[in-house]
Structure 1
Amino acid sequence: MTSETEPTGAAERGLRLTILVGESDVWHHRPVYAEIVHRAHRAGLAGASAFRGIEGFGASSRIHTQRLLSLSEELPVAVVIVDTEDRIRAFLPLIDELTGDGVVVLDACEVVRRGDREEGR
């Protein structure tokens, strides 16, 4: 019997793609982070999530924060996508035009599937 915190399947090798963009970055009147998530969905990737940062800085070296006294509309957003290495690398050219000044990070990872998921994914 396994507990709720124990993995139910074996770990498999994967690749985590993290794209760091600004909250106000847009592509054809749509936030860049939303466009990346929707392109990942259309490409059939396993999943994608966008996370809004509470504080950070980028190429401009200007710190952006959500603290009340210094509200910013240019907070960092991280879009994280995990899938097989082949699928992630095939997806990269589909977002080249969106990443501009953003940072793209690739990390090897182990993926442990939990719950009722389709076999073969």
Structure 2
Amino acid sequence: MQVPKNAVLLRAFIGEADRHDGGPLYERIVMKARELHLAGATVLRGGMGFGHSNRVHTSKILRLSQDLPLVVEIVDSEDAINAFLPVLDGMMPGGLITLEKVQVLQYGPGAIREPTRLT
């Protein structure tokens, strides 16, 4: 699979306790992205955060949270991400979705080329 040099990064900010179709939402998002042949997805777990509810979720020992913040990141072409957005919208009851343009330097095995040095 080729990812264009100029791609889009989708970020979905959700909670660890969020569910979809009887399973964790983050797993459902990643598996749906894989099923639709998107270039890749990563789930990042946050130690602390808050959202629209203004309730702080933290992993501190004295205040164990069952709903830590998660970020699901997906990078692919703009067309592929735009096609995925309605699917994601149907899966997420809430949360935050952001998009930003990114430049892909490497995808898959191989060495990253050395940048041109300015003298």
TM range (shorter): 0.7 to 0.9
Query: Which TM-score applies when normalising by structure 1?
Result: 0.83
| CA RMSD of superposed structures (Å) | 1.5
Q: Could you say which residue in structure 1 is the equivalent of 2:40?
A: 47
Question: Shift of the alpha carbon at 1:95?
Answer: 1.2
**What one-letter code is carried by the residue in structure 1 that aligns with 2:42?**
S
- TM-aligned CA distance change 1:72 to 1:83, over 3 Å: same
Q: What is the aligned-residue identity percentage?
A: 40
Count matched residues: 107
C-alpha distance in structure 2 between counterparts of 1:108 and 1:60, whole Å = 28
**Which of 28, 32, 35 is equivalent to 2:21?**
28
Q: Could you say which residue in structure 2 is the equivalent of 1:85?
A: 78
Equivalence map 1:93-104=2 (5 Å): 93-104=86-97
Task: Return 45-54 or 96-105, whichever deviates more.
Answer: 96-105
Query: Which blocks of at least 5 consecutive residues in structure 2 are unaligned?
Result: 111-119
Tell me if structure 2 keeps the 8 A contact 1:19–1:103: yes
Q: Could you say which residue in structure 2 is the equivalent of 1:19?
A: 12
User: What's the secondary structure of 1:90's corresponding residue?
Assistant: helix
Tell me if structure 2 keeps the 8 A contact 1:19–1:99: no
CA deviation profile, 1:7-33 (whole Å, cap 9, x unmatched): xxxx81000000011100011210001
CA deviation profile, 1:54-104 (whole Å, cap 9, x unmatched): 000011101010011110011111000001111111111111122221100
C-alpha distance in structure 2 between counterparts of 1:28 and 1:86, whole Å = 26
C-alpha distance in structure 2 between counterparts of 1:43 and 1:72, whole Å = 32
Tell me if structure 2 keeps the 8 A contact 1:53–1:77: yes
Question: Shift of the alpha carbon at 1:116?
Answer: 3.2
Question: Shift of the alpha carbon at 1:40?
Answer: 0.3
